């Protein structure tokens, strides 16, 4: 297999990962890391580095669109970024000391949990009054078809701690941990769905950058792998977002994605246990 063929395979795989990742809102990292490690036998550290770079690209690209529409809660994002960046830096430093087969097992488990989380029925709950939310100016408003909707934020401390954990996972495994971020915001802090998804997206870029600077210095960001990954994921994500605008996200697609992720993740866990990774 020549460099050209190797690059093209990654490019096509990354396109697919970006496409499905954007349709389901989980991000491209879910498929790209298992693809690189299991199918192409790339060292998991390189895979994580490349995935981090692609996460920054897609999250920045889509955040650019959302932030202009005024749905993203910039203050909420900024405040929680204290937790995600602190977590991400610790996670990235930790990743250096954890043997690759352990990383593979942890990643597999987290992928399965996140995929299953994405299936859960969403029930919007109304936030209770929280003095911290007022002090930190986290309560906000966003435009809908029926005009401006105001909302408040609950359980600031609980959300903050969950974000810390999301940051650690992101730095450790090179995923955006968007599922966990959204969970922290809509289930714990009771932020409206549209705000929590766009704000999560807004935060993923900064979280990714915090870990990427560590990976970069460690030499884990290899240009020849990152190049097809980042270009492919971005193309796939763009295509996915175009489709998402035109149709309601369908249930079968979500199921298909979960099955793909669970299959890949089990493979990761299996390879991790027998020590092949």
Partner 1 sequence: MATKHKFRDTDMQAVLGWVLRIGVIVSISIVFFGGVVYLYRHGSEMPNHTKFTGIPDFTKLNGIVQGILDFRGRSIIQLGIILLIATPILRIVFSIIGFILEKDRLYVFISLLVLFIIFISSIGGHIA
Rule CB under 8 A: which residues touch partner 1? 1-4, 6-7, 40-43, 45-46, 53, 56-57, 59-61, 63-65, 67-68, 70, 72, 74-75, 78-79, 81-82, 85-86, 88-89, 92-93, 96, 136-137, 205-206, 208-214, 216-228, 230-231, 234
Cα of 171 vs its chain's centroid, Å: 11
Please tell me what DSSP assigns to residue 253.
Answer: H
Q: How far is the CB of 216 from partner 1 (least distance, A)?
A: 7
Is-contact 260 31, C-beta < 8 A? yes
- Distance from first CA to last CA of the chain, Å, rounded? 20
Q: Is 147 left (phi over 0), alpha (psi -120 to 50) or beta?
A: left
CA atoms of 176 and 52, how far apart (whole Å): 8
Output 99 or 249, the one with its CB closest to partner 1. 99
Output 65 or 128, the one with its CB closest to partner 1. 65
Q: How far is the CB of 34 from partner 1 (least distance, A)?
A: 15
Output 62 or 118, the one with its CB closest to partner 1. 62
Q: How far is the CB of 236 from partner 1 (least distance, A)?
A: 13
Output 136 or 256, the one with its CB closest to partner 1. 136
HSE of 211, CA atoms in CB hemisphere, 13 A? 40
Q: How far is the CB of 121 from partner 1 (least distance, A)?
A: 31
Is-contact 244 68, C-beta < 8 A? no
């Amino acid at each position: 297999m020549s460099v050209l063929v190797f690059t093209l395979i990654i490019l096509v795989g990354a396109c697919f990962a970006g496409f499905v990742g954007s349709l389901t809102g989980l991000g491209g990292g879910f498929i790209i890391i298992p693809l690189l490690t299991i199918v192409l036998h790339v060292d998991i550290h390189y895979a994580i580095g490349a995935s981090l770079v692609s996460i920054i690209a897609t999250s920045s690209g889509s955040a650019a669109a959302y932030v202009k529409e005024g749905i993203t809660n910039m203050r909420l994002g900024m405040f929680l970024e204290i937790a995600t960046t602190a977590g991400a830096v610790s996670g990235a430093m930790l990743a250096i000391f954890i043997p690759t087969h352990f990383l593979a097992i942890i990643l597999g488990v987290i992928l399965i949990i996140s995929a299953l989380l994405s299936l859960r029925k969403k029930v919007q709950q109304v936030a209770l009054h929280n003095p911290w939310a007022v002090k930190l100016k986290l309560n906000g408003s966003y435009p809908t078809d029926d005009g401006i909707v105001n909302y408040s934020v609950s359980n600031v401390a609980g959300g903050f701690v969950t974000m810390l954990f999301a940051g650690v996972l992101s730095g450790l495994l090179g995923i955006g941990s968007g599922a966990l971020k959204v969970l922290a915001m809509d289930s714990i802090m009771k932020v409206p769905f549209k705000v929590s998804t766009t704000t999560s997206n807004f935060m993923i870029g900064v979280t990714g950058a915090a870990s990427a600077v560590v990976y970069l210095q460690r030499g884990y960001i290899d240009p020849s792998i990152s190049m097809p990954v980042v270009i492919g994921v971005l193309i796939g994500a763009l295509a996915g977002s175009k489709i998402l605008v035109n149709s309601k996200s369908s249930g079968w697609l979500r199921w298909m994605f979960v099955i793909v992720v669970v299959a890949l993740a089990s493979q990761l866990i299996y390879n991790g246990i027998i020590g092949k990774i």
